[in-house]
Amino acid sequence: MKNILFFGNSLTAGYGLSPSESFPALIQKKIDSLQLPYKAINAGLSGETSAGGKNRIDWLLRQPVDVFVLELGANDGLRGIPPAETKKNLQAIVDKVKAKYPQAKLVMAGMEVPSSMGGRYASEFRVIFRQLATENNMALVPFLLEGVGGERHLNQQDGVHPTAAGQKILAENVWAVLKDVL
């Protein structure tokens, strides 16, 4: 059995939902239905920033990691953290995974912030995920929240966290890329 580590924030954790409704759990159901030898590990932590993730990753790398899915940065974006700093932190996380598990396959979940954060900031923020994926030979989910972000009926009352129906779309967005990695 090989491990897929989903490392992220509340979007990965499935904030406000039961654990079985999170996109990593939905991907596990897909994996099981296809009888693939993978176990999805949900290491999502609500409120996590790229800096927090950089500090937390070592503990999670105590277990074998065959596929690493990185979903961090949204909280940085909402806090207006400079994109260069977020990129540096995400690179540090990738470096730690590569150092411990050089054979691990890597997937980056791209993120965007609302244009209300400022057009220049939003565009600078958006490109770091593609840059990191390219520089580190990672598969890229272009925008994790594609089809969900800004869709009121697919998000909880806070307008930020996907509903169970929204998480199903996130699972489809990730699976579209992950299936070719497995």
Q: Kindly list the catalytic residues.
A: 10, 158, 161
Residue listed under structure tokens 């998000």: 155
Helices 23-33 and 164-178 meet at what angle, rounded to 10? 50
Coil, strand, or helix at residue 113?
Answer: coil
DSSP 39-62: EEEEEE-TT--HHHHHHHHHHHTT
From start to end of the chain, where are the E strands? 2-8, 38-44, 67-71, 105-109, 139-141
CA distance 129 to 138: 10
From start to end of 12-138, where are the E strands? 38-44, 67-71, 105-109
